[in-house]
Amino acid sequence: MIPVLKVIAPGFHTTIQDEGRRGFQHVGVPVSGALDRNGYLLSNALVGNAPGAACLEIIGTGPELEVVGASVRVALIGSAGGGLEIAGRDDAFVGSGRTVRLARGEIARVRLGGDAFCSYLAIEAGFDVPLCLNSRSTYTRARFGGFSGRPLQGGDMLHGFADDAASREEVTFSAPRDLALDQPIRVVLGPQDDYFTALAIEELLQGSYIISPASDRMGFRLAGPELEHKSDYNIVSDSIVGGSIQVPGSKLPIILMADAQTTGGYPKIATVISADLPVLAVRGGGRTVRFQAVSREDAERISRAEHQRLTKMIQDIRPESSKGISLEALYHQNLIDGVVDAKV
């Protein structure tokens, strides 16, 4: 165990997450893992980690971290305006979507910016916490996995798999990530759409919903048009998947997320397609969601296209100095300086 970062301040809800815990849903263990799988993948790709490495998922406010290893390379993925504030440096702000190497004693404050509900901080070689049921993801409800099964607290010592990060040119993306905050969330109707009136299906697809501030890693509660059940709103419990849209007696939908329980007794009117789960996850309380129905075959096509797009984005990671305008760099520069710098 190699100490890498010490938690000076934990932020609102910072947990260790990876790709999730597969293979235990049949004994009631949720998948957990990063809510925004794309943000998680991109943060790891930037620092050169193999898929599966554990990183920090940050919700609400960012942590403040002190480097205790010789050096560590980190990358934040989240809002375009987010980044790391490094105390004592001339170029104190390193925007999200790029790597930076921090030396022992340096303190980085994670600033989230306002766009993304969840952000990801990856370190080169990944965070080292014990595997629990084959995963490093934190499941706070049952207090296992990740860092002692809980969100980070001040004073925690985070361990990694390397004490030092080799000096090399830092990297960034060729184009900034689009959070697609206005994109309709695509769903496939069912598995229990037959429990709802035709009007309810229409309301779901035509209406506009606001994500409630009471939303968390278990589920996003939505406020908007009520969805009428044909008769009963209880079913004999069956399985839940990430993106299941269940409608309890309140008639208001709840989209079940990474930490949702594995079974449930309310009918599920529709299911968010896998490609749009990250799109949904980055929208937090107060943001709007509209739904659009697609076929399962469409969902599978979109999933493959989305995978290709992400693969391309990762292939196109380039050294900071290479030619081409970095829109993201331009954006951050403007945020810091408050002026448009035409020389960038």
Q: Which residues bind another protein (CB under 8 A)?
A: 22-29, 132-133, 141-142, 144-145, 149, 187-188, 190-192, 194, 235-239, 241-244, 261-264, 268, 270-274, 296-297, 299-300, 303-304, 307
Nearer to another protein, 60 or 190 (CB): 190
Nearer to another protein, 96 or 244 (CB): 244
* CB 278, min distance to another protein, A: 13
* CB 203, min distance to another protein, A: 19
Nearer to another protein, 102 or 275 (CB): 275
* CB 237, min distance to another protein, A: 6
CA distance 105 to 60: 26
Nearer to another protein, 55 or 188 (CB): 188
Nearer to another protein, 20 or 63 (CB): 20
DSSP 221: E
Task: Assess contact for 177 and 61: CB atoms under 8 A.
Answer: no
- Spatial neighbors of 270 by CB under 8 A, at least 6 apart, are 187, 188, 189, 190, 193, 204, 245, 291, 293
Supply 316's token pair.
Answer: 């196109």
Nearer to another protein, 11 or 267 (CB): 267
CA distance 11 to 33: 19
* CB 4, min distance to another protein, A: 24
* CB 139, min distance to another protein, A: 8
The Cβ of residue 286 has, within 10 Å, a number of other Cβ atoms equal to 11
**Residue 274 backbone phi and psi in degrees, to 5:** -60, -35
- Spatial neighbors of 164 by CB under 8 A, at least 6 apart, are 69, 70, 71
* CB 270, min distance to another protein, A: 8
* CB 232, min distance to another protein, A: 10
CA distance 129 to 123: 13
Nearer to another protein, 19 or 328 (CB): 19
Strand-strand pairing, 83-86 and 99-103: unpaired
Alpha helix segments (H runs only) across 197-317? 198-206, 277-281, 296-315
The CA distances from residue 12 to 3, 60, 67, 269, in Å, are: 22, 5, 20, 32
The Cβ of residue 304 has, within 10 Å, a number of other Cβ atoms equal to 10
Strand-strand pairing, 288-293 and 185-189: parallel
Nearer to another protein, 22 or 168 (CB): 22
Nearer to another protein, 169 or 298 (CB): 298
* CB 191, min distance to another protein, A: 4
* CB 274, min distance to another protein, A: 5
What is residue 309's three-state secondary structure?
Answer: helix
